[in-house]
Amino acid sequence: MPKTQVILTSNIVGLGAESDQVKVSAGYARNYLLPHGLAVSLTGANKRRLEVLRQRRAEREAHEFNTMAELAKGLSKLICLVTVKTGDDGKMFGTVTNGAIADQLKTQFDISLDKRKIHLDQPIKNLGEFEVELRLHPEVKGALKVRVESSTPLPPPEAKPEAKSEEGRHDRHDRYDRRARRTYRSDKPAEGAEGAQKSEGAAERKPRAPRAERPAKAEEPGKAE
C-alpha cells in the first residue's frame, strides 16, 4: 500500500499532534485526513505553516494541562458512590470497573471523564472505600475516593448465646457471694462493749440445782399429826 507524508493540523490520538510530519497510507490521507482538515500535504508552501501550527499546539497543551490540574483538585475532594447488589453473606455480584466509576461521575457530579483516565490495577471486588488513581494528563495525576455500598443492607447480627450464658453465670456468682457474706456476718460473734456485756452475763449465770437436792422445808408445830 503506497505511503504519503502529511503535516498534522490537529491532535490525533495515536498518530500525532499539530505540526507533526507523519507518514500514512495514501488512502487514509486522501479519504479522511485531508477532507476533514486534520492534515495538509507535505509541500514547500505548507512547511511555512509549521511555526503557526507549533504555536497552536503549545497553546492547546497549556490549556489542557491547566484544565486537568484544576480537575484533579476538584476530584480529590469528592467521594464517588457506587451501589452494587450483594448476597446475604455481603459478597458482591460482579465487580466495579473504571467504566462504572466514569458513569457515576457523570450521574452524580456531571463530570465527563474518559474511563481510560481512571486507572485500576484490577476491578474492585469488595465493599468499602477505595482510593483510585487518575491519569488525567501526561504531567497530571490525581486520586478519587470511591465508596462501594450494597443496595441491600445486611440484617443485624444475632446475639451470641455464649454471651448470655456468661452473663448469667456472673449473676449467679454475685448472688452466691452476697448470700455468703450475709451468713458470715450472722455467725460472727458480737464485738465491742455490747458483746463483752453479753459474755460477762453468761459467765455469772449459775446452773440451777436439781429438785431432788433442794433441802426439805421444816414442818410447823402442831401439824405433826
CATH number of the domain encompassing residue 42: 3.40.5.10
Whether residue 84 is found in the same domain as residue 31 = no
Q: How many domains does the chain have?
A: 2
Condensed to tens digits (0 to 9), the pLDDT of residues 64-93 reads 999 999 999 999 999 999 999 998 887 888
Whether residue 102 is found in the same domain as residue 35 = no
- Element containing residue 79 per DSSP (H, E): strand 79-84
Whether residue 127 is found in the same domain as residue 84 = yes
Whether residue 82 is found in the same domain as residue 120 = yes
Whether residue 42 is found in the same domain as residue 78 = no
Domain boundary among the residues 150, 174, 194 is at 150
Whether residue 99 is found in the same domain as residue 138 = yes
56: left (phi over 0), alpha (psi -120 to 50) or beta: alpha
Q: From 171, 121, 172, 129, select the one nearest 148 (Cα to Cα).
A: 129
Condensed to tens digits (0 to 9), the pLDDT of residues 165-201 reads 555 555 565 665 666 566 555 555 555 545 545 545 5
For residues 40 and 26, what is the distance between their CA atoms, to the nearest angstrom? 12
Domain boundary among the residues 124, 150, 176 is at 150
Condensed to tens digits (0 to 9), the pLDDT of residues 112-143 reads 999 999 999 899 999 999 999 999 999 999 99
For residues 65 and 119, what is the distance between their CA atoms, to the nearest angstrom? 19
Whether residue 21 is found in the same domain as residue 78 = no
Domain residues for 105?
A: 73-150
pLDDT of residue 88: 81
Do 21 and 41 form a contact (C-beta atoms < 8 A)? no
Judge whether 126 lies within some domain.
Answer: yes
Judge whether 30 lies within some domain.
Answer: yes
Q: From 33, 14, 17, select the one nearest 25 (Cα to Cα).
A: 33
Q: How confident is the model at residue 223 (pLDDT cuts 50, 70, 90)?
A: very low
Domain boundary among the residues 119, 150, 181 is at 150
